[in-house]
């Protein structure tokens, strides 16, 4: 069902003149962990029959590549719990060889990375983001509810051995892992990994009040800058992180700050859920149904719907977290939209 990619097609440009060149595709909303800031412990996931097939995901990716998308990230949930992800990566990654796609990456919690790393590299993936909020086994288990940090660390080692660059994503959580931020930075520097710190986002109902764990990253950055030389970098990886060079460690650290510093002005991203819903913004509910278009009208209908979607992309999100027990910005969990 894959569509024919024709380089030089009409670019995807939203109503504010921003060109969309980065697509994140969730391959499943399921996850084998239950991180407290992300999910409730008792989750209801999408029925499997509603999930796009791997062939349909590849067809959607083809359509976006034909319209100028240069980078694609596979996400979840946890993408590596779905069978056949290296095969999907190979279908999409073939466009890197033709020059129509610059990069194919993947975000994972790392629990299944050890058995997938070589296959991902062979499929064309060269970089993975691994979510790791703590290297302390007890803290990690508490945050994830039942996770084994050794499995994640094994996965990171396997990824490095396979030739994959690794970036560590760490959600900063007040009272849980804030004391581990500097040790995590030093560990990443020693291992050759970039580190990105992320503020918790008000997405979906969870079992706790996010205000209890919200740690503003402007303060974290100032604290690190009091002990290290942080030099802002122009380097970008396509996402919202703003990077700094840590001179004394020879390392890079990124900050994703949806609450303290809105980063929407130059947004070049859209997201597709595992059921084929295209969301133009993580913090808004406007969406179009690519699955229906693809199944009922084929590639032509899918292409036409992309034009409609561009008119729905908002200028910015409106994340707020100041009020205790406030409703989340959107009801869907991060695992639905994809990280």
Token pair of 265, please?
């002005």
Any binding-site annotation on 252? no
> 73 among the known binding-site residues?
yes
Q: Is the dihedral of CA 135, 165, 54, 24 positive or negative?
A: positive
pLDDT, position 39: 80
User: Looking up tokens 């990443």, which residue turns up?
Assistant: 188
Instruction: Map out the domains of the chain as residue ranges.
Output: 22-337
Contacts of 81 (CB under 8 A, 6+ apart): 28, 30, 31, 32, 112
pLDDT at 2 > cutoff 60: no
152 is in an annotated binding site: no
As a whole number, mean pLDDT of residues 135-160 equals: 97
- Tokens 């009020």 found at: 323
Binning pLDDT at 50, 70 and 90, where does residue 264 land? low
Q: How would residue 244 be classed by pLDDT, with cut points 50, 70 and 90?
A: very high
Query: Is position 115 annotated in a ligand binding site?
Result: no
Q: Is 281 annotated as contributing to ligand binding? A: yes
Q: Is 149 annotated as a binding residue?
A: no
Choose between 285 and 173: higher pLDDT.
Answer: 173
Mean pLDDT across the chain: 87
Q: Is 279 a known ligand-binding residue? A: no
Annotated binding residue at 35? Answer: yes
Stated pTM of the model: 0.87
Residues in the chain: 339
Q: Please classify residue 9 by burial: count the beta carbons closer than 10 Å to its beta carbon, then call 0-12 exposed, 13-18 middle and 19+ buried.
A: middle
Q: What is the DSSP annotation of 34-69?
A: --TTT--SS--PPPGGGSPPHHHHHHHHHHHHHTT-
Was 264 annotated as part of a binding site? yes
145 is in an annotated binding site: no
Alpha-carbon gap, residue 313 to 326, rounded angstroms: 25
Which residues in 120-131 are b (16+ Cβ under 10 Å) and which e? bbebbbebbbbb
The verdict on whether residue 160 carries a ligand-binding annotation is: no
Is 38 assigned a ligand-binding role in the annotation?
yes
Q: Per residue in 6-65, pLDDT tens?
A: 545 799 999 889 999 999 999 999 999 999 888 888 888 889 889 999 999 999 999 999
Q: Which CATH number fits domain 22-337: 3.20.20.70, 3.40.1360.10, 3.40.980.10, 3.90.1150.10?
A: 3.20.20.70
Q: What's the chain's Rg over C-alpha atoms?
A: 19
Tell me if 270 is assigned to a ligand binding site.
yes
* 201 marked among binding-site residues: yes
Determine if residue 228 is labeled as part of a ligand binding site. Answer: no
């Amino acid at each position: 069902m894959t569509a024919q990619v024709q380089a030089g097609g009409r670019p995807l440009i939203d109503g504010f003149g921003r060109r969309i060149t980065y697509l994140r595709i969730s391959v499943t909303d399921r996850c084998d962990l239950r991180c407290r800031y992300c999910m409730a412990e008792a989750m209801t996931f999408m029925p499997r029959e509603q999930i796009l097939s791997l062939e349909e995901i590849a067809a959607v990716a083809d359509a976006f590549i034909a319209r100028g998308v240069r980078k694609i990230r596979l996400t979840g949930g946890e993408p590596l719990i779905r069978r056949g992800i290296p095969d999907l990566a190979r279908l999409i990654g073939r466009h890197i060889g033709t020059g129509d796609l610059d990069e194919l990456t993947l975000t994972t919690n790392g629990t299944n990375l050890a058995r997938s790393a070589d296959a991902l590299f062979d499929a064309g993936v060269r970089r993975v983001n691994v979510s790791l909020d703590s290297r302390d086994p007890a803290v990690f288990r508490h945050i994830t509810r039942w996770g084994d940090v050794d499995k994640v660390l094994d996965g990171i080692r396997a990824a490095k051995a396979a030739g994959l660059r690794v970036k560590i994503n760490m959600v900063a959580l007040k009272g849980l892992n804030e004391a581990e931020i500097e040790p995590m930075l030093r560990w990443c520097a020693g291992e050759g990994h970039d580190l990105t710190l992320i503020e918790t986002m008000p997405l979906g109902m969870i079992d706790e009040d996010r205000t209890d764990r919200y740690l503003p990253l402007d303060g974290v950055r100032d604290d690190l800058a009091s002990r290290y030389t942080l030099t802002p970098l122009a380097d970008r990886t396509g996402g919202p992180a703003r990077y700094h060079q840590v001179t004394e460690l020879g390392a890079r650290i990124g900050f994703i700050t949806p609450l303290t510093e809105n980063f929407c002005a130059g947004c070049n991203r859209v997201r597709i859920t595992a059921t084929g819903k295209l969301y133009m913004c993580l913090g808004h509910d406007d969406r179009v149904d690519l699955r229906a278009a693809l199944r009922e009208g084929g590639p032509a209908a899918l292409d036409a719907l992309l034009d409609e979607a561009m008119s729905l992309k908002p200028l910015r999100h409106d994340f707020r977290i100041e009020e205790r027990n406030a409703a989340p910005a959107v009801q869907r969990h991060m695992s639905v939209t994809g990280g």
